[in-house]
C-alpha cells in the first residue's frame, strides 16, 4: 500500500541508508520475514510499486507489531506533522505533512492505521481501531473508491465490535 505521504517520508531515509536503497530494501524484506510475514515482498520503499505485495494475514501481523510502538502510533494518528530541515542554502525550512486518513475524524478511535492506494490494489486499509470499548484489527484490501474504503472499514468495525469480544 502506498500514498504520496509515504513517498515523501520514506525517500529521504533510503538515500543515506548504509549501502543505499538496495540494502534498505533487503532490510525491509528481512524484517518482514522475521515478523512471519511470509507472503510479503518489498520492491521499493515508497509503497508505490505494484511489485510490493502482501496479504491480509501478513498485514495483521504488522499491525500487531506496530500497535506496541508508541512512536509509530503517534505518527500514524497525527493529523498534521510539522518539522524543519535545512535546504541546500543552509536555511531552515518548515515542512508540513498532512495525514490523509479520513477515519481520524470518525466515530471509530484510530489506534494505529495506514491507508493506501494503487491502481492494481485498489483502496486499502490496515489498522488497529477501538470501537465500543473493543480493540479490533481491520484489514481491507481492494475497495473501489476512497469513500467505499471509509464506509467498509466503519461497517466492519461496527459488525465485529457488536459480535465479538475483541482484543483486551
Instruction: Give the per-residue pLDDT at 68.
Output: 92
Is residue 115 within 8 Å of 109, Cβ to Cβ?
no
Mean pLDDT in order along the chain per 10 residues (168 residues): 46 66 92 97 90 96 93 88 80 85 84 91 94 89 96 91 65
Q: Strand runs (DSSP E) across the chain, as ranges?
A: 80-86, 92-98, 109-118, 122-131, 134-143
Residue among 107, 105, 115 at smallest CA distance from 148: 115
Instruction: Give the per-residue pLDDT at 1.
Output: 43
- pTM confidence score: 0.79
CA of residue 55 relative to chain centroid, distance? 14
Amino acid at each position: 500500500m502506498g500514498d504520496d505521504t509515504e513517498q515523501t517520508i520514506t525517500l529521504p531515509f533510503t538515500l543515506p541508508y548504509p549501502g543505499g536503497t538496495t540494502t534498505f530494501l533487503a532490510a525491509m524484506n528481512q524484517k518482514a520475514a522475521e515478523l512471519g510475514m511470509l507472503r510479503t515482498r518489498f520492491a521499493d520503499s515508497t509503497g508505490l510499486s505494484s511489485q510490493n505485495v502482501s496479504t491480509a494475514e501478513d498485514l495483521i501481523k504488522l499491525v500487531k507489531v506496530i500497535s506496541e510502538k508508541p512512536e509509530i502510533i503517534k505518527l500514524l494518528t497525527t493529523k498534521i506533522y510539522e518539522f524543519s530541515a535545512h535546504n541546500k542554502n543552509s536555511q531552515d525550512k518548515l515542512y508540513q505533512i498532512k495525514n490523509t486518513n479520513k477515519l481520524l475524524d470518525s466515530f471509530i478511535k484510530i489506534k494505529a492505521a495506514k491507508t493506501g492506494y494503487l491502481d492494481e490494489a485498489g483502496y486499502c486499509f490496515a489498522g488497529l481501531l477501538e470501537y465500543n470499548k473493543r480493540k479490533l484489527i481491520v484489514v481491507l484490501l481492494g475497495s473501489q473508491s476512497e469513500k467505499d474504503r471509509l464506509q467498509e472499514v466503519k461497517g466492519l468495525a461496527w459488525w465485529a465490535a457488536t459480535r465479538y469480544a475483541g482484543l483486551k
